[in-house]
Amino acid sequence: MTTYAEFAERMPLLARHEGVWDGTYSYFNAHNEKIDEHASRLLCRMTGEDEIPYHQTNHYTWPDGKTEVRDFPATYRDGRIWWDNELIQGWAAEVPLDEYNRTMMLYWQRTGDPSLYLYEQIQISDDGQNRCRTWHWIRDGMLETRTAIQETFVTKDWRAIDAEMKASA
């Protein structure tokens, strides 16, 4: 694979997620009690590069002003994108059983914590303007946390937003 178009052809549903998404992450413990909530802005990039064809940067903001940025460059092989960094190891894939082409699944483990793993399901709306995501955090086979994420599409032009955010940092 050498071009953006080839990668988008291999992962067309992922290509629909390209751009900037604003949302809210809500975390619930195993007893369904809300334990955290914060705003997010995600930059989902289809880079057109062989080494890192997909790169996601997550910007989080809490009501108390705390912020955090996490970077997730991914490689591609075997019909999936793959992460292997200091935070997570895992993959994302389109779900071919979904005849509506709305569903992606992710699996990852926290690096250095083999007792904790996570499955995520992402649903994108048919018009591509909204998506919802659900994470199930499982430790030693038992549900530890659920994360519910609601997002709205901002723009396909992640390059302009990326430049704006870097300029204001």
pTM of the model: 0.95
Check whether 2 has a pLDDT greater than 80: no
Q: Which amino acid type is present at position 14?
A: L
Contact predicate 140/52, CB 8 Å: no
Q: How confident is the model at residue 1 (pLDDT cuts 50, 70, 90)?
A: low
pLDDT at 91 over 80: yes
On average, the pLDDT of the chain sits at: 95
Report strand pairing: 142-155 vs 130-139.
antiparallel
Q: Give the residue from 34, 27, 26, 29 showing the smallest Cα distance to 139.
A: 29
Q: Write out the two tokens for 150.
A: 């609601």
In whole angstroms, give the CA distance from residue 157 to residue 50: 21
Domain 4-168 indexed as CATH 3.30.230.10: no
User: Given a cut of 80, is residue 169 above it in pLDDT?
Assistant: no
Query: Using one digit for the tens of pLDDT, what is the confidence trace for 103-154?
Result: 999 999 999 999 999 999 999 999 999 999 999 999 999 999 999 999 999 9
Q: Is the pLDDT of residue 15 over 70?
A: yes
E strand or H helix at 72: strand 67-77
Percentage of the chain beyond pLDDT 70 is 99
63/50: higher pLDDT: 63
